[in-house]
Chains A and B, each alone.
Chain A
Amino acid sequence: MANTAAYFGFQPVGLSTGAAPNFSLTQRRIASGNSTAIYRGDPVMPVVSSANGYITQGAAGTTRVDGMFGGCEYLSVSQKRIVRSIYGPGSDASGDVLAYVIDAPGSRFKVQANGSSMVVTGSTTAWTSGPVGQYAQFAIGTGSTSTGISGAYLSGVGTTVTYPFIVLDMVQDPPGQNGTDPTTNYNFLIVGFNNEILRSNGAGPTGIS
């Protein structure tokens, strides 16, 4: 059954084999003047314009990612109290926004591919080719201010060693559900960090094509 686009960002599903997942969160900071909204499941990146330690919403490219956004809290100017939100609205904060991110280097995420053919050829039981093992680029998409959920998705795979993610598996279950047909576009994939703050040496070895 063909898949359809319904982007949901990067959903954490666990850790690499052998590591017990505890879904620990790391506290990071977003500048109060940062007007870019960040949604739950968005990759976040360091602010590279100055060495201030802040993070901001990720953007496609080869800058390292600092993790995956999972919520935040800030002192609200309008409500005059600490407000917690699963997305950072990009306004109304007095002082830094405290962001909670997943940055464990062995984290695994489920994410939807766009229409750029990150599919397997052959059959679902005998792959001729596929994206598993390739480095992957993402696009930030459009998050939802209603649900707070990210609209990020994978936009392509390649051999560029500084791409932020690496494809580790294809989602094929439960059968017949959206995203589980690995032979058609808009399929779901399992990815891990590649070019991430806590990964040793940043990028991995030369990718496969």
Chain B
Amino acid sequence: MAVNLSAIRDLLLPGLRGVEGKYAQIPTQWDKVFETTNSNMALERTAEMRFLGLAQLKTEGGAVQFDNNAGERFIYNQEHIEIGLGYAITRKAIDDNLYKTQFAPTNLGLVESFAQTKEIYGANLLNTATTYNSAISGDGVALCSTAHPIDGATFANRPSTDVDLNEATLLNAMISIRQNFKDVAGLKVFARGRKLVIPPTLEPIASRLTKTELRPGTADNDVNAIHTTSGGLPEGYLVMDFLTSNYAWFLLTNIKGLVHMKRVPYEMDMQVDFTTDNLLVKGYERYSFGYYNPRALWGSFPTS
């Protein structure tokens, strides 16, 4: 049913001190996790290639070894979703509303709705990082996995046993990223943790771990190794309000791989229905959140 007089009954009479209900929105968070690119296709595909492996020892007078295994290994698909929302408001509800500035018929909050929806879709990639999505294809395992396949081996961006966030587990994750991330040919890559991503419930822990100069939680005078190990976490931590687990935590690395693609930017349109005189307002946006490199993320998913 359209927004009608009964839905704005007290806005029909003068004397209201104020009209409340709109609040400041949470500042954008997804753009601190995902890089943004434009897209002009229905489906964007990113290929991960295998380059050359390690050079080999050559014996005197012997032949140089060749590595002809370079080539395509994985394809990461990203298909855009359409987001839409509209509302209808009657002619009388527009004409008789005495508080149009505060409850504008043409602006009932579509921008805020779309913004928060986008946050949810962005966070959803992390929330579902342990579930393989075959539509993405990729390397055939979930975004966060203990066994991402590479030629002749695997690498992990998830601990073998999911661990709570604390000093030891955070350091282990930072070291694991540095030690174990390899390209498809098995060469170590320059991978470093750069930002801790956590739900609001873990912020006290993250704050204690990353903001103290000395070792957290001890009476010793040791330095806080989190600041320096594997380059530390130069971007600190990010609290994401739309992570659904109160215990899962993530490390973003310096490797690009989490991407938000803009297909059609947010647009709004409106029209008056000829027969009813109802004003119809709708918003539309088309985008997608996805990934093309699991090395961009490290995640742990304890459940308690």
Contact B6 A22 (CB under 8 A): no
Interface centre among A22, A100, A177 (most CB of B within 10 A): A22
B83 to chain A, nearest CB (A): 9
User: Is A72 an interface residue, CB under 8 A from the partner?
Assistant: yes
Q: Write the B1-14 contact mask toward A (1 if CB under 8 angstroms, else 0).
A: 11011110100100
A105 to chain B, nearest CB (A): 15
User: CA of A21 to CA of B1 in the docked complex: distance in angstroms?
Assistant: 10
User: Is A168 an interface residue, CB under 8 A from the partner?
Assistant: no
Contacts of A174 in B (CB 8 A): 117, 120-121, 124
Contact B127 A71 (CB under 8 A): no
Chain B interface bracket (under 10, 10 to 19, 20 to 34, 35 or more): 20 to 34
Contacts of A85 in B (CB 8 A): 6, 9
User: Is A127 an interface residue, CB under 8 A from the partner?
Assistant: no
User: CA of A103 to CA of B123 in the docked complex: distance in angstroms?
Assistant: 38
User: Is A92 an interface residue, CB under 8 A from the partner?
Assistant: no
Contact B6 A24 (CB under 8 A): no
User: CA of A114 to CA of B117 in the docked complex: distance in angstroms?
Assistant: 25
Count of A-B contacts judged by CB separation below 8 Å:
72
Q: Write the B233-275 contact mask toward A (1 if CB under 8 angstroms, else 0).
A: 0000000001010000000000000000000000000000101
A30 to chain B, nearest CB (A): 13
Contacts of B170 in A (CB 8 A): none
Q: Which residue of A lies closest to B134 (CB)?
A: A125
User: Is A25 an interface residue, CB under 8 A from the partner?
Assistant: yes
- Which B residues, 178 to 200, have Cβ-Cβ distances below 8 Å to chain A? none
Contact A21 B88 (CB under 8 A): yes
User: Is B221 an interface residue, CB under 8 A from the partner?
Assistant: no
Contact B278 A22 (CB under 8 A): yes
Contact B12 A175 (CB under 8 A): no
Contact A70 B88 (CB under 8 A): no
Contacts of A23 in B (CB 8 A): 1-2, 88, 276, 278, 280
Q: Write the residues of chain A forming the contact surface with B, with a CB cutoff of 8 angstroms.
A: 1, 12, 20-25, 40, 68, 70-73, 83-86, 100-102, 174-177
- Given contacts A22-B273, A175-B124, A176-B127, 13 further A-B pairs with CB under 8 A are A23-B1, A23-B2, A25-B1, A40-B7, A70-B1, A70-B6, A71-B6, A84-B9, A100-B1, A102-B1, A174-B120, A174-B124, A175-B120
Q: Give the 5 A-B residue pairs with the shortest CB-CB distance, closest first.
A: A70-B1, A71-B6, A23-B88, A22-B273, A23-B2
